[in-house]
Amino acid sequence: MAHSLEEFGTFFRGIGRRMSSVIVNLKIGDRAPLKDAPCLLRITIPMQDAAAHGMGSPSERQVLNAIDRELVAALSQQCAANFVGRELTKGQLKFYFYAPTECIPEPVTAEVLTKHPGYRFRLSRTRDPEWNVYFDELYPNRAEFQLLTTHERQAAAAEMGDSLEIPRPICHWTYFPSAESREQFLKQVRPQGFHIHLLENHEATGHNYVYCAELARKDRADHPHLDELILWLFLRAEECGGYYDSFEAESVANLTFGLSANAD
Rounded to an integer, what distance in angstroms lies between the CA atom of residue 263 and that of residue 52? 37
**Tens digit of each residue's pLDDT (9 = 90 or more) over 199-219:** 887 665 556 788 999 999 999
Residue 2: per-residue pLDDT: 34
- 147 CB-near residues (< 8 Å, 6+ apart): 11, 12, 15, 140, 223, 227, 230, 231
Count Cβ atoms within 10 A of the Cβ of residue 207 and give its class: 0-12 exposed, 13-18 middle, 19 or more buried: exposed
Residue 186, classed as helix, strand or coil, is: helix
**Tens digit of each residue's pLDDT (9 = 90 or more) over 123-135:** 999 999 999 999 9
Position 192 pLDDT exceeds 60: yes
**Tens digit of each residue's pLDDT (9 = 90 or more) over 231-246:** 788 889 989 999 888 8
Residue 4: per-residue pLDDT: 38
Q: What is the mean pLDDT of residues 5-14?
A: 70
Q: What is the mean pLDDT of residues 129-147?
A: 87
Rounded to an integer, what distance in angstroms lies between the CA atom of residue 255 and that of residue 199? 25
Domains along the chain with CATH numbers:
2-138 (3.30.70.600), 142-260 (3.30.70.970)
